[in-house]
Copies of this chain bind each other. A is one copy, B any other.
């Protein structure tokens, strides 16, 4: 491998940054105590800053990214998020509406001050003398740039991986300047495993004999082997095992025809060798060390309590996204962020997007219909909430939900959804009451919703477990409730909720819900979901723990018509609505009656405050022998 070092000044080889702009921001004091006498930030912008200067979106790049997030015109080189198609006219981050700013990070090697920049004190490159920087320093420099551009408040900050860490740092440190935060595939701090890979990568670079303690410029060398190998390790961690298998199994023993001195016996080896070599041409080793160390030092706390204390300082709305097959930044770490935000009643939506692409999913087009759509919807609602708030001099994020249903001016097309809202069970099963039949007794008027709404005091906070596409929550939002959260498992339903501007959290009701605190909500609703839940006592316990008052509705299998069906036909009952399924494919797995539920409450010391029994077909309340005459029951319960 020839390690010709082709950089000139601080811009290394690779494509030229035709549209780059530079801001000289003067001196900065760094978090760890050192001082940089002057810094330059290289950045690119897309779209137009409006007169109010309130349509700016900051994009924070990951480890090896740069300011070139997207092409500026058709002749331009593609940017790092063009494959995913995230930024541009008509795209989720719509440059027809938003003013997008993407700066190269502090410590980088693509224009912003970093270890390969000239140290004004010596006239030579910093190299080994570049001080330890942190993610907070990166965010602080970005804030200086934003201010330099005359912007007082960002519509949103968006970033994946280490870019997501910058978004978290923004929210914690400069939350007053941020209305929306979208951290993607990131973590409050690295897992031990991910940290370990970084440590090994740094060891390889630092023990490369061409490293010379970081002073390789002085020796006319670069630690190219070390840097290439560090990059190879990184590449393995960016892909899921499935994606690697898919990509390299068919031609396992046929190495690709690339020029590399690394092992080329296997297809995967030639790929890694090529990626490693290419990276050496584009990236500076000291920069790699500085940035990975910043990532490794990022730490919002070792406990949920600490994380909560930090994140509670932010006043923005949140959309947190992770990917199921990401093992470098596993979804559980995004869920920790979400739990902390929920604990301080921050408006947050979360989706663990189903993907086979691993950590790289956030850069790829595969799942953009899902996560891109949510980003587009979310930005639209944050924008509208702000406009509404400006108009009414009202609190921005409080009204966002209330205006959710008529705020359909988002960039992305609306996902398919039912106007009435579907009910989905939140336990990984087909939707038992999807209104696919015109004769469905539950969807014509939703008498059950009407009665449930009557039970919920005005302005109370509500958690809807198994919220589906947000039918009930949407009604509550229109009625003016401020603090509304839905829990749902189905990704399409979550996309629909985000589209409506509702706060929705992806979770499985068969698991505990530690992300919600004791007594956190005035009301917890479980609407026509209990019969599809495997762990019935578990979900009821969680409801009673989280809510001061709980509302449970369910179909009554003691209903006369159902008993008769069983008795006369000797068959499992089947009917319209919730019973339109066959015994062998119904999502309903718990068959119980009003009396059964009352026994259950007695047995578990649950206090029944109110029981409403309905004949939904007749559209009336039942008072005479409900266990026989009602097809649906609504219970208000407390511990």
Contact = CB atoms under 8 A, between A and B. Distances in A.
B567 A236 contact: no
A611 to B, nearest CB: 15
A193 B241 contact: yes
A202 B567 CA distance: 72
B225 A207 contact: yes
Contact of A232 (B200, B273, B600, B627): B200
A34 interface: no
A121 interface: no
A296 interface: yes
Given A191-B241, A192-B247, A567-B563, A557 B537 contact: no
Contact of A583 (B203, B239, B590): B590
A536 interface: yes
Contacts of A567: 563, 567
B592 A584 contact: yes
A572 B584 contact: no
A537 B199 CA distance: 51
A262 B537 contact: no
Given A241-B191, A241-B193, A537-B584, A569 B592 contact: no
Contacts of A261: 207
Contacts of A241: 191-193, 327, 330
A272 B571 contact: no
Most buried by B among A236, A557, A584, A596: A584
A595 interface: yes
B558 A571 contact: yes
Most buried by B among A197, A330, A534: A534
A252 interface: yes
Interface residues of A, number: 69
Contacts of A195: 248, 252, 266, 268
Contacts of A589: 534, 589-590
Contacts of A389: none
Most buried by B among A202, A206, A263: A263
B244 A232 contact: no
A582 B596 CA distance: 9
A188 interface: no
A566 interface: yes
Contacts of A22: none
A11 to B, nearest CB: 28
Contact of A263 (B193, B199, B244, B628): B199
Contact of A572 (B191, B244, B596): B596
A536 B571 contact: no
A247 B193 CA distance: 11
A599 interface: yes
Interface string A571-613: 1100000000011110001111111100110000000000000
Contacts of A266: 195, 199, 296
Interface of A: 191-193, 195-197, 199-200, 202-204, 206-207, 209, 225, 229, 232-233, 236, 239, 241, 244-245, 247-249, 252, 261-263, 265-266, 268-269, 272-273, 293, 296, 302, 327, 330, 534, 536-537, 557-558, 563, 566-567, 569-572, 582-585, 589-596, 599-600, 627-628
22 contacts: A192-B244, A192-B268, A193-B244, A196-B248, A196-B269, A199-B262, A199-B268, A199-B272, A200-B272, A207-B225, A209-B209, A241-B327, A537-B585, A558-B566, A558-B570, A570-B627, A571-B592, A571-B596, A572-B592, A583-B596, A589-B590, A591-B591
Given A195-B248, A571-B592, 20 more contacts: A193-B241, A195-B252, A195-B266, A196-B244, A196-B269, A197-B236, A199-B266, A200-B233, A202-B263, A203-B269, A206-B263, A266-B296, A534-B589, A536-B583, A536-B585, A558-B570, A563-B570, A569-B595, A572-B592, A583-B590
Give the 7 A-B residue pairs with the shortest CB-CB distance, closest first. Answer: A536-B584, A589-B589, A192-B244, A199-B269, A558-B570, A583-B592, A192-B248
